[in-house]
A and B are shown apart, each in its own frame.
Chain A
Protein backbone atom coordinates (compact mmCIF):
# COMPACT_ATOMS: atom_id res chain seq x y z
CA UNK A 1 0.00 0.00 0.00
CA UNK A 2 1.06 3.59 -0.52
CA UNK A 3 2.87 5.15 2.38
CA UNK A 4 4.23 8.65 3.06
CA UNK A 5 6.60 9.11 5.98
CA UNK A 6 7.96 12.32 7.33
CA UNK A 7 10.91 12.01 9.66
CA UNK A 8 10.55 12.99 13.26
CA UNK A 9 7.20 14.09 14.49
CA UNK A 10 8.92 17.07 16.09
CA UNK A 11 12.07 18.98 15.21
CA UNK A 12 13.59 21.73 17.35
CA UNK A 13 16.28 23.99 15.97
CA UNK A 14 17.96 27.21 16.97
CA UNK A 15 17.03 30.46 15.26
CA UNK A 16 19.28 31.23 12.31
CA UNK A 17 20.06 27.58 11.55
CA UNK A 18 18.80 25.60 8.57
CA UNK A 19 15.91 23.25 9.20
CA UNK A 20 15.79 20.12 7.04
CA UNK A 21 12.60 18.06 6.86
CA UNK A 22 12.34 14.72 5.09
CA UNK A 23 9.49 13.13 3.17
CA UNK A 24 9.84 9.51 2.04
CA UNK A 25 7.23 7.70 0.01
CA UNK A 26 6.72 4.09 -1.01
CA UNK A 27 4.52 2.45 -3.64
CA UNK A 28 4.07 5.82 -5.33
CA UNK A 29 5.19 7.22 -8.64
CA UNK A 30 4.35 10.86 -8.09
CA UNK A 31 4.37 13.28 -10.98
CA UNK A 32 4.99 16.02 -8.48
CA UNK A 33 5.14 16.74 -4.80
CA UNK A 34 3.75 19.61 -2.77
CA UNK A 35 4.72 21.01 0.60
CA UNK A 36 2.23 22.73 2.90
CA UNK A 37 2.50 24.59 6.17
CA UNK A 38 -0.14 24.23 8.86
CA UNK A 39 -0.42 26.41 11.95
CA UNK A 40 -2.35 25.14 14.99
CA UNK A 41 -6.11 25.25 14.45
CA UNK A 42 -5.82 26.47 10.87
CA UNK A 43 -5.99 24.91 7.43
CA UNK A 44 -2.84 23.95 5.50
CA UNK A 45 -1.28 26.61 3.28
CA UNK A 46 0.51 25.71 0.04
CA UNK A 47 4.23 26.54 -0.02
CA UNK A 48 6.02 24.87 -2.91
CA UNK A 49 5.54 22.37 -5.71
CA UNK A 50 8.30 20.37 -7.39
CA UNK A 51 7.92 18.20 -10.47
CA UNK A 52 9.45 14.75 -10.95
CA UNK A 53 11.90 16.07 -13.55
CA UNK A 54 13.10 18.88 -11.29
CA UNK A 55 15.89 18.31 -8.83
CA UNK A 56 15.46 21.47 -6.83
CA UNK A 57 13.06 24.37 -6.37
CA UNK A 58 13.59 27.56 -4.36
CA UNK A 59 11.34 30.24 -2.98
CA UNK A 60 12.90 32.90 -0.77
CA UNK A 61 14.34 31.02 2.25
CA UNK A 62 12.72 27.73 1.22
CA UNK A 63 14.31 25.01 -0.87
CA UNK A 64 12.85 21.69 -1.91
CA UNK A 65 14.64 18.76 -3.54
CA UNK A 66 13.06 15.73 -5.16
CA UNK A 67 14.92 12.46 -5.70
CA UNK A 68 12.72 9.94 -7.50
CA UNK A 69 15.41 7.26 -7.21
CA UNK A 70 15.52 7.53 -3.43
CA UNK A 71 11.77 8.27 -3.36
CA UNK A 72 12.46 11.21 -1.14
CA UNK A 73 11.93 14.95 -0.92
CA UNK A 74 13.86 17.27 1.37
CA UNK A 75 12.47 20.61 2.53
CA UNK A 76 14.94 23.20 3.80
CA UNK A 77 14.30 26.47 5.61
CA UNK A 78 17.44 28.59 5.76
CA UNK A 79 18.04 31.31 8.33
CA UNK A 80 15.11 29.95 10.32
CA UNK A 81 12.99 32.27 12.46
CA UNK A 82 10.58 31.59 15.34
CA UNK A 83 7.76 32.55 12.93
CA UNK A 84 8.66 29.46 10.89
CA UNK A 85 7.42 27.28 13.75
CA UNK A 86 4.55 25.19 12.39
CA UNK A 87 3.72 21.72 11.12
CA UNK A 88 4.96 21.00 7.61
CA UNK A 89 3.16 18.46 5.44
CA UNK A 90 4.30 16.84 2.21
CA UNK A 91 1.91 15.49 -0.41
CA UNK A 92 3.24 13.43 -3.32
CA UNK A 93 0.76 13.43 -6.17
CA UNK A 94 0.35 11.01 -9.03
CA UNK A 95 -0.81 12.50 -12.32
CA UNK A 96 -4.49 11.90 -12.75
CA UNK A 97 -5.17 11.98 -9.03
CA UNK A 98 -4.21 15.54 -8.31
CA UNK A 99 -7.44 16.14 -6.49
CA UNK A 100 -6.87 13.26 -4.10
CA UNK A 101 -4.26 14.89 -1.92
CA UNK A 102 -2.80 12.45 0.59
CA UNK A 103 -0.61 14.07 3.17
CA UNK A 104 2.35 12.73 5.06
CA UNK A 105 2.13 12.58 8.82
CA UNK A 106 3.76 16.00 9.15
CA UNK A 107 6.74 17.33 11.04
CA UNK A 108 6.19 19.88 13.81
CA UNK A 109 9.02 22.38 13.60
CA UNK A 110 9.89 24.63 16.52
CA UNK A 111 12.47 27.36 15.99
CA UNK A 112 13.90 28.44 19.32
CA UNK A 113 14.90 32.08 19.80
Chain B
Protein backbone atom coordinates (compact mmCIF):
# COMPACT_ATOMS: atom_id res chain seq x y z
CA UNK B 1 0.00 0.00 0.00
CA UNK B 2 1.17 3.49 -0.81
CA UNK B 3 2.32 5.73 2.02
CA UNK B 4 1.02 8.80 0.24
CA UNK B 5 -2.66 9.31 1.05
CA UNK B 6 -4.95 11.29 -1.21
CA UNK B 7 -8.50 12.46 -0.54
CA UNK B 8 -11.08 12.37 -1.91
CA UNK B 9 -10.72 9.35 -4.16
CA UNK B 10 -13.49 10.66 -6.42
CA UNK B 11 -14.75 14.21 -6.90
CA UNK B 12 -17.43 15.55 -9.20
CA UNK B 13 -17.65 19.31 -9.44
CA UNK B 14 -19.39 21.92 -11.53
CA UNK B 15 -17.49 24.52 -13.49
CA UNK B 16 -18.37 27.24 -10.97
CA UNK B 17 -17.46 25.22 -7.87
CA UNK B 18 -14.45 25.61 -5.63
CA UNK B 19 -13.01 22.38 -4.29
CA UNK B 20 -9.69 21.03 -3.01
CA UNK B 21 -7.70 17.85 -3.34
CA UNK B 22 -5.62 16.84 -0.35
CA UNK B 23 -2.46 14.80 0.01
CA UNK B 24 -0.57 13.64 3.08
CA UNK B 25 2.67 11.74 3.67
CA UNK B 26 4.56 10.87 6.85
CA UNK B 27 7.80 9.59 5.34
CA UNK B 28 9.68 12.78 6.17
CA UNK B 29 9.96 13.67 2.50
CA UNK B 30 10.58 17.33 1.81
CA UNK B 31 9.68 17.26 -1.89
CA UNK B 32 6.05 16.89 -2.93
CA UNK B 33 4.45 16.85 -6.36
CA UNK B 34 1.19 17.09 -8.24
CA UNK B 35 0.74 15.17 -11.49
CA UNK B 36 -2.22 15.04 -13.86
CA UNK B 37 -3.04 11.90 -15.83
CA UNK B 38 -5.57 11.56 -18.65
CA UNK B 39 -6.86 8.20 -19.85
CA UNK B 40 -4.26 6.11 -21.69
CA UNK B 41 -1.61 8.81 -21.20
CA UNK B 42 1.35 8.96 -18.84
CA UNK B 43 1.30 11.22 -15.77
CA UNK B 44 2.30 14.82 -16.49
CA UNK B 45 4.06 16.95 -13.92
CA UNK B 46 2.16 20.03 -12.71
CA UNK B 47 3.92 21.35 -9.59
CA UNK B 48 6.89 20.55 -7.38
CA UNK B 49 7.33 21.77 -3.81
CA UNK B 50 10.72 21.69 -2.10
CA UNK B 51 10.87 22.49 1.61
CA UNK B 52 7.27 23.70 1.43
CA UNK B 53 8.11 26.24 -1.28
CA UNK B 54 6.92 26.03 -4.87
CA UNK B 55 9.98 25.23 -6.97
CA UNK B 56 8.48 24.10 -10.27
CA UNK B 57 5.27 25.15 -11.99
CA UNK B 58 4.92 23.53 -15.40
CA UNK B 59 2.88 26.39 -16.87
CA UNK B 60 -0.30 25.19 -15.19
CA UNK B 61 -3.41 27.43 -15.57
CA UNK B 62 -4.20 29.58 -12.56
CA UNK B 63 -7.48 27.76 -11.98
CA UNK B 64 -5.24 25.19 -10.28
CA UNK B 65 -3.70 26.61 -7.12
CA UNK B 66 -1.31 24.46 -5.06
CA UNK B 67 -0.61 24.95 -1.39
CA UNK B 68 1.85 23.26 0.96
CA UNK B 69 0.83 24.20 4.52
CA UNK B 70 3.50 22.01 6.13
CA UNK B 71 6.02 19.32 5.32
CA UNK B 72 3.41 16.54 5.41
CA UNK B 73 0.52 18.12 3.55
CA UNK B 74 -0.07 19.23 -0.01
CA UNK B 75 -3.32 20.68 -1.34
CA UNK B 76 -4.55 21.47 -4.82
CA UNK B 77 -7.27 24.11 -4.86
CA UNK B 78 -9.60 23.98 -7.85
CA UNK B 79 -11.74 26.83 -9.12
CA UNK B 80 -13.59 27.48 -12.37
CA UNK B 81 -12.39 24.27 -13.96
CA UNK B 82 -13.29 23.10 -17.44
CA UNK B 83 -14.59 19.67 -18.47
CA UNK B 84 -11.22 18.96 -20.12
CA UNK B 85 -9.63 19.19 -16.66
CA UNK B 86 -11.31 15.90 -15.79
CA UNK B 87 -8.49 13.46 -15.05
CA UNK B 88 -6.72 11.45 -12.38
CA UNK B 89 -4.69 13.76 -10.15
CA UNK B 90 -1.70 12.11 -8.53
CA UNK B 91 0.21 13.37 -5.54
CA UNK B 92 3.75 12.15 -4.93
CA UNK B 93 6.62 12.71 -2.53
CA UNK B 94 10.34 12.01 -2.39
CA UNK B 95 13.48 12.81 -0.47
CA UNK B 96 14.90 16.19 -1.44
CA UNK B 97 18.11 14.69 -2.78
CA UNK B 98 17.33 12.17 -5.48
CA UNK B 99 20.52 10.31 -6.22
CA UNK B 100 21.26 7.28 -8.26
CA UNK B 101 21.48 4.55 -5.64
CA UNK B 102 19.34 1.52 -6.17
CA UNK B 103 17.42 1.68 -2.91
CA UNK B 104 13.88 2.91 -3.02
CA UNK B 105 14.73 5.92 -0.85
CA UNK B 106 15.83 7.67 -3.99
CA UNK B 107 12.61 7.42 -5.84
CA UNK B 108 9.29 9.17 -6.01
CA UNK B 109 6.33 7.64 -4.18
CA UNK B 110 2.91 8.15 -5.69
CA UNK B 111 -0.50 8.18 -4.03
CA UNK B 112 -3.53 6.31 -5.35
CA UNK B 113 -4.85 9.42 -7.02
CA UNK B 114 -8.03 11.47 -6.97
CA UNK B 115 -10.43 11.03 -9.87
CA UNK B 116 -11.82 14.40 -10.84
CA UNK B 117 -14.84 14.88 -13.08
CA UNK B 118 -15.84 18.41 -14.09
CA UNK B 119 -19.42 18.72 -15.30
Contacts and interface: CB of A to CB of B under 8 A. Distances in A.
Interface string B81-118: 00000001010101000111010101111111101000
B69 interface: no
A104 B42 contact: yes
B21 interface: no
B91 to A, nearest CB: 8
Interface string B30-59: 010100000011110100101000011000
Interface size class of A (residues with CB under 8 A): 20 to 34
B4 interface: yes
Contact of A49 (B88, B106, B115): B106
Nearest to B43: A103
Contact of B2 (A41, A43, A57): A43
Interface residues of B, number: 31
A32 B100 contact: yes
B41 to A, nearest CB: 7
A46 B104 contact: yes
A96 to B, nearest CB: 10
Contacts of B2: 43, 45
Contact of A98 (B90, B98, B109): B98
A32 B101 CA distance: 10
Contact of B112 (A32, A42, A49, A51): A42
Contacts of B99: 98
B119 to A, nearest CB: 20
A92 interface: no
Contacts of A72: none
A9 B104 CA distance: 27
A74 interface: no
A106 B92 CA distance: 19
A105 B108 contact: no
Contacts of B56: 99-100
Contacts of B107: 34, 46, 49
12 contacts: A34-B107, A41-B88, A42-B112, A43-B92, A44-B43, A49-B100, A49-B107, A99-B98, A100-B45, A100-B48, A101-B45, A103-B42
